[in-house]
Amino acid sequence: MKIKTMAVLLGSLLFCSHATAEELQNPENEQKQDNAEQPEKSKETDSQDIKQNTPPAVTVTEEIPYDEYINNQNDLKRKYLRENWSKHPNAKEVNGITYLEFEGKKKRTSGHLFMIPSWGDMAKLVPLAKIAAEKNFDTFIFFPVPELNEQIPYSEEKNAINQESRYLEYIGTAISTIGSHERSNLILLDGNTAGWLIDKITNNELLKADAIILLDVFYKDQNANAVLADYFAGFKGFTLDLLTKESNNWLNEAFSKRKFLCEKEGKPPMLTKSFKSDDREEMERYFSNYLKKTDFTLLHPRKKEGRKNSASK
Q: Please give the chain's pLDDT, 313 residues, in tens.
A: 444 434 333 444 444 444 545 554 554 554 444 454 444 444 344 434 334 444 555 454 456 564 554 456 666 666 666 667 777 899 998 887 889 999 998 888 999 999 999 888 888 999 999 999 999 999 999 988 877 777 888 887 777 777 788 889 999 999 999 999 999 999 999 999 999 999 999 999 999 999 999 999 999 999 999 999 999 999 999 999 999 887 789 999 999 999 999 999 899 999 999 999 988 999 999 999 999 999 998 887 644 434 434 333 3
Residues 73, 95, single domain; the answer is: no
Relative to beta strand 185-190, strand 111-116 is parallel
| Structural domain containing residue 76 | 1-26+41-89
Residues 55, 143, single domain; the answer is: no
Give the contacts of 95 (CB within 8 A, at least 6 positions apart).
173, 177
Taking the CB of residue 43, how many other CB atoms lie within 10 A of it?
A: 8
How far apart, in Å, do the first and last CA atoms of the chain sit?
Answer: 71
Give pLDDT, residue 151.
82
Q: Is 36 within a domain? A: no
Residues 51, 187, single domain; the answer is: no
Give pLDDT, residue 300.
73
CA separation for the pair 243, 150 (Å, rounded): 21
Q: Is 267 within a domain? A: yes
Residues 259, 198, single domain; the answer is: yes
Q: Is 31 within a domain? A: no
Q: Is 254 within a domain? A: yes
Q: Is 34 within a domain? A: no
Residues 51, 173, single domain; the answer is: no
Q: Is 110 within a domain? A: yes
CA separation for the pair 28, 43 (Å, rounded): 28
Residues 255, 189, single domain; the answer is: yes
Classify residue 266 as left (phi > 0), alpha (psi -120 to 50) or beta.
left
Give pLDDT, residue 241.
96
Q: Is 35 within a domain? A: no
What dihedral do alpha carbons 185, 147, 19, 122 form, nearest 10°? 0
Residues 215, 201, single domain; the answer is: yes
Where would I find the H helices in the chain? Answer: 11-14, 21-25, 30-35, 43-53, 66-85, 122-134, 158-178, 194-202, 222-234, 249-264, 280-293, 301-312
Residues 167, 285, single domain; the answer is: yes
Strands across the sheet with 272-276, in order?
91-94, 97-102, 137-142, 111-116, 185-190, 211-215, 238-243, 272-276
Q: Which of 52, 71, 89 is the endpoint of a domain?
A: 89
Residues 166, 200, single domain; the answer is: yes
Q: How many folded domains does the chain comprise?
A: 2
Percentages helix, strand, coil for the chain (3-state, rounded to 5) are 50, 15, 35
Residues 108, 195, single domain; the answer is: yes
- Residue type for 20, please? T
Residues 243, 279, single domain; the answer is: yes
Residues 56, 189, single domain; the answer is: no
Angle between helices 194-202 and 158-178 (to 10 degrees): 60
User: For residue 213, what are the β-bridge partners?
Assistant: 188, 240
Q: Is 213 within a domain? A: yes
